[in-house]
Chain A
Amino acid sequence: MTLRSRLALRFGAMITACLALLGGLAYHEFVTEPAQRKALGIPELPETFWGEYAEVFFYGMIPLVLAAGWWIIRRVIDPIALLAQSIERIQAENLPYSVPRTGGGDELDRLTDSFNALTARLAGSFGQIREFTLHASHELKTPLTIMRFQLETKLDEGKNLSPEEVEWLECELHEVQRLSKIVDSLTLLTKADAGLMKLEQKPLALGDLVRECFEDAQILAEPQEVQVTLAGCDAAQVLGDGDRLRQLLLNLTDNAVKYNRPGGAVSLALRSRDGQAEIEVTNTGEGVPAELQPRVFERFIRGTEARSRAIEGSGLGLSICRWIVQAHGGTIQMTSQVGQSTTVLVRLPLAPAH
């Protein structure tokens, strides 16, 4: 049944109910009441016919119209609100997403169907893009390998080369390596999008990883005379992939050192709080302007500082961090005060206690 006919039917039912009630009230006013008055000997009130009619109409109609209107509106609005809620839940990550049908066989079901078909088509397109990126990065690797071999071979036969030629070749080689890293990161993220990356789920003492990372960070920070401190290291057991969590910690601390001022400070902390492990990495770098903060975890978003100071990076490091954190069921966020400090806070669920 269509929504239109359903509404028409309900409206008809409402009108009928109203008329019935009106009839009842009119009967009471014009027939029953005068009869009672006559029987009890009460004199007729000096009321006009129209006055009586208005009374009936007033008492009967107002609540009825309100109730019926509310009922009809709810019947129409509720399924639409449900539909809207389902649509809001859709992300690129959970496509194709099927919004449940109401099952009334009406326009709303038709809308749901066309919407579901749309998300299916979108999912198909996203899939094609992923497939394309995956193939492209795979296909890029063989020519990159060969380019690298050629440059290395040329450099190895270096005796007949002028210093300018050697410098040029080394520069080329460096760019090839950089390109390779970008292709690697891109492959990883594309695979992660497609759900092809399988992570281990082993119980891990996060404290050990943080202490290891602290030791590495101190060494990394030495050339820039950046002071690294471990501001606390609670015992925290998580379920996860050791390799990936090490990668996350190293990435965050390496960033904290790279984007710091000479003589600055980096602070590392692990806290166990409300069933979550909190890892906090703070540095005293230039910071990230407020308008860029929500976007730093997106792909190829790099801060103005990274560009102006020509700090080398792929623009994918923080995206990989976010993927690692999300794959462990956690959250990551960055807060920064320009010119003062930047803090990255990672929250990971603790392993359930035995």
Chain B
Amino acid sequence: MHVLIVDDDRRTAGFISKALKQEGCATEVLHDGDEALDAILAVPFDAVVLDIMLAGRDGLSVVRQLRAKGNHTPVLLLSARGEVNERVEGLNAGADDYLPKPFALAELLARVRILGRRGGETKHAVLRLADLVLDTSARTAQRGGRKIELTTREFRLLEYLMRSAGRVCTRMMIFEQVWEYHFDPGSNLVDVYVRKLRDKIDEGFERKLFHSVRGEGYVMKDSP
């Protein structure tokens, strides 16, 4: 995966680049908005990590220009302001995701991984993982032929985790997608919900589908 990192703070950009390289990505680093725009238009990147505060053209304007020119490179916006309004503004400008500073590196990596795989997603109504079947139109869940009772929230959580199967979902991503909270709720709600859901799905089964990734979040997959 070829990722461009644009941040006017050199140390932040350096850390992000190092972390992405450890993940096996090829990275390039720029510090200026105008240069970034030229680079993205010239070279096909798989994803761009773009800070809003930049020398020259700001991040929001870079995204607007890209989309206006018909370029659909996935963009993750970073910002030190971190307000709901700004998030909405960023997504309206055409960014694919938004992350307020300061964030965990694991959070950023999880989001970049998802950005790189975007596009090929189809919205199947029935989701399967091993012997777990989730029918999103009938709103039923079964494992090994046995029906599982879920509350509305549990159902939405399971659907999100199954759609992202194989990819780590951080607590913050779960909050945004399942709860539609775009603020830090300052509680361990996600962990408690996942624990409950895991009990309902995995208890009594040899093959565990829920896995927690220490310091990152949760992933559903059919492997140990």
Contact = CB atoms under 8 A, between A and B. Distances in A.
B183 A152 contact: no
A219 B193 contact: yes
Given A219-B192, A243-B84, A146 B151 contact: no
Contacts of B12: 142, 145-146, 149
A222 B192 contact: yes
Contacts of A251: 186
A184 B189 contact: no
B25 to A, nearest CB: 16
A311 to B, nearest CB: 12
A267 B104 CA distance: 36
A153 B19 contact: yes
Contacts of B18: 153
A215 B155 CA distance: 13
B202 interface: no
A92 B183 CA distance: 27
Q: Which of B83, B85, B102 has the most CB of A within 10 A?
A: B102
Contacts of B106: 152
A149 B15 CA distance: 7
Interface in A233-273: 242-243, 246-247, 250-251, 254
A95 B202 CA distance: 59
B68 interface: no
B223 interface: no
B80 A141 contact: yes
B185 A247 contact: yes
A307 interface: no
Interface string B5-36: 00001011001001100000000000000000
Contacts of A254: 185-187
A350 B193 CA distance: 32
B102 A144 contact: yes
Contacts of B11: 146
A219 B196 contact: yes
A142 B192 contact: no
Contacts of B100: 184
A148 B179 CA distance: 26
A187 interface: yes
B105 interface: yes
B153 interface: yes
Given A146-B15, A220-B187, A141 B83 contact: no
A317 interface: yes
A10 interface: no
A130 interface: no
Contact of A247 (B9, B15, B83, B183): B183
B81 A216 contact: no
Contacts of B9: 142, 146
B116 interface: no
Q: Interface extent on A, as a size class?
A: 35 or more
B80 to A, nearest CB: 4
A145 B103 contact: yes
Contacts of A144: 101-102
B193 A152 contact: no
B192 A223 contact: yes
B184 A181 contact: yes
Interface string B141-184: 00000000001110000000000000000000000000111111
B94 interface: no
B215 interface: yes
B15 A138 contact: no
Contact of A153 (B15, B82, B152): B15
Interface in B99-139: 100-106
B58 to A, nearest CB: 14
Contacts of B80: 138, 141-142, 145
Interface in A164-205: 176, 180-181, 184, 187-188, 191, 197-198
B182 A243 contact: yes
Given A187-B83, A220-B189, 20 more contacts: A138-B80, A141-B102, A145-B12, A146-B11, A146-B15, A153-B18, A155-B215, A187-B82, A188-B83, A197-B85, A216-B153, A219-B193, A220-B192, A222-B192, A246-B179, A246-B181, A247-B181, A250-B181, A250-B187, A314-B186
Interface of A: 138, 141-142, 144-150, 152-153, 155, 176, 180-181, 184, 187-188, 191, 197-198, 212, 215-216, 219-220, 222-223, 242-243, 246-247, 250-251, 254, 313-314, 317
Interface of B: 9, 11-12, 15, 18-19, 80-85, 100-106, 151-153, 179-189, 192-193, 196, 215
25 contacts: A138-B80, A141-B101, A142-B9, A142-B12, A142-B101, A142-B102, A146-B11, A146-B15, A148-B102, A152-B215, A153-B15, A153-B18, A153-B19, A155-B215, A187-B82, A198-B85, A212-B153, A219-B189, A219-B196, A220-B188, A222-B192, A243-B84, A246-B180, A251-B186, A317-B186
